[in-house]
Amino acid sequence: MLSNSGMSVWRVGLLGVLIGLLVLSCGLRTAQAQSVKEFLLVTGEWSWKAKEGEAPVVDRNRGAVKEIERYTFDPPFLVVNRGDTVVLKIHALKGAKHVLEIKDFGVGETTINKGEEKTIRFVANKAGTFKFLCTNHINAEKEGPMVGYIYVIGR
Ligand SMILES: [Cu+2]
């Protein structure tokens, strides 16, 4: 049988262990929220030109065309967790110049000339699906839209 003071030491000890576990779990959660996700991307180019007698294709904005070109980000779909620091290393392989913008995360226009690799860094501080765009290839007339998507998983 434990004395009253023995019981109280036990309780204080148990409380200490519980507080310790709580602090540890918060620490782990914080560490998880601060993880860095790095992606290596390249800029790509798709083009098509009708051969002699070949039927045109329909462009969303321009109607029937015999020649079409699109610039892309590769990979075009990225998945991160809310709170992650996202690092995009974009290597411009195709196209003379790209201008990256991610309005939802405050990334202003960053120019990437052919052959260059630029690093863009931001914190994905909200959940949802967001676009990253090249404002130099914004629509069909400019061989776009050149667009990628970031899916941020909420917790
Ligand atoms: Cu572009």
Q: Taking a C-beta distance cutoff of 8 angstroms, is the pair 142, 148 a contact?
A: no
109 alpha carbon – ligand 1 mean position (Å): 11
Alpha-carbon gap, residue 12 to 28, rounded angstroms? 24
Residue 122: how many other CB atoms lie within 10 Å: 17
Residue linked to tokens 């090249």: 134
28 alpha carbon – ligand 1 mean position (Å): 39
Task: Please state the rounded mean pLDDT for residues 96-120.
Answer: 97
**Domain of residue 5, residue span:** 1-33
62 alpha carbon – ligand 1 mean position (Å): 19
By the 10 Å C-beta count (0-12 exposed, 13-18 middle, 19+ buried), 150 is classed as buried
Q: What is the pLDDT of residue 114?
A: 97
Same domain for 73 and 46: yes
Same domain for 139 and 128: yes
Same domain for 62 and 24: no
Kind of pairing, strands 97-102 and 107-113? Answer: antiparallel
Same domain for 43 and 28: no
Q: What is the pLDDT of residue 49?
A: 96
34 alpha carbon – ligand 1 mean position (Å): 30
147 alpha carbon – ligand 1 mean position (Å): 9
Same domain for 66 and 29: no
Same domain for 100 and 28: no
Mean confidence (pLDDT) of the chain: 88
pTM of the full structure: 0.75
Percent of the chain with pLDDT over 70: 79
Pairwise pLDDT comparison (113 vs 155), residue with the higher score: 113
